[in-house]
Amino acid sequence: GEPVAHAKNLYHRIDRTWRDANHATSEAWFDTEGNPMALKDMYVRIERDFDEKGNATEERYYGPDGQPIACKAGYDEIHQKYNEKNQVIRIEYLLNGAPVLNNIGAAALEREYDEKGNVSVERYYGTENEPIRNTSGYARIDRTWLDKDHVTSEAWYDENGQPTALTDTYCRVEREY
């Protein structure tokens, strides 16, 4: 029969290069005529690097011309760092090799985790690695978790570590379950 496109994503073919059975180092999408095809985020190919534990440490996006292209979130490359439990502790967003503010207003974010593996703190940073408020209006959020599904408290802070009110005029929420 005739080549057809994937009903949801509209591509016909995906080409992947594998480091091993679980880690694709490259993915590229093509239409029914074999032309590179951009996904909804505008890139036609992704390349990834992994550390020795299999964690994705870098991801780069490319356009139809083979050159780096910014995704809709505003960056063409991501760098990730992990802790000893393989949890992402820092994500950096780059454009043309330099830090760039993404669509949530941060060039980097850092995470801390509680003993259950939940994200307990998130901090946002600007292009000079300075604390910065994201587009939601805070530079840090602290969370306390009852379990993996229930947040018992959330508190928001500005770039100076002071409590900051969100649009609804509160800076902390406490929940009981």
The mean per-residue pLDDT over the stretch 18-33 comes to 91
The mean per-residue pLDDT over the stretch 77-84 comes to 98
Proportion of the chain above pLDDT 70, given as a percent: 94
**CA 174 to CA 68: how far, in whole Å?**
44
pTM summary value: 0.89
Q: Map tokens 């949890």 to a residue.
A: 87
Q: Which tokens belong to 145?
A: 């978790």
**CA 27 to CA 46: how far, in whole Å?**
5
Identify the pLDDT of residue 5: 60
Radius of gyration over every alpha carbon of the chain, rounded to an integer in angstroms? 20
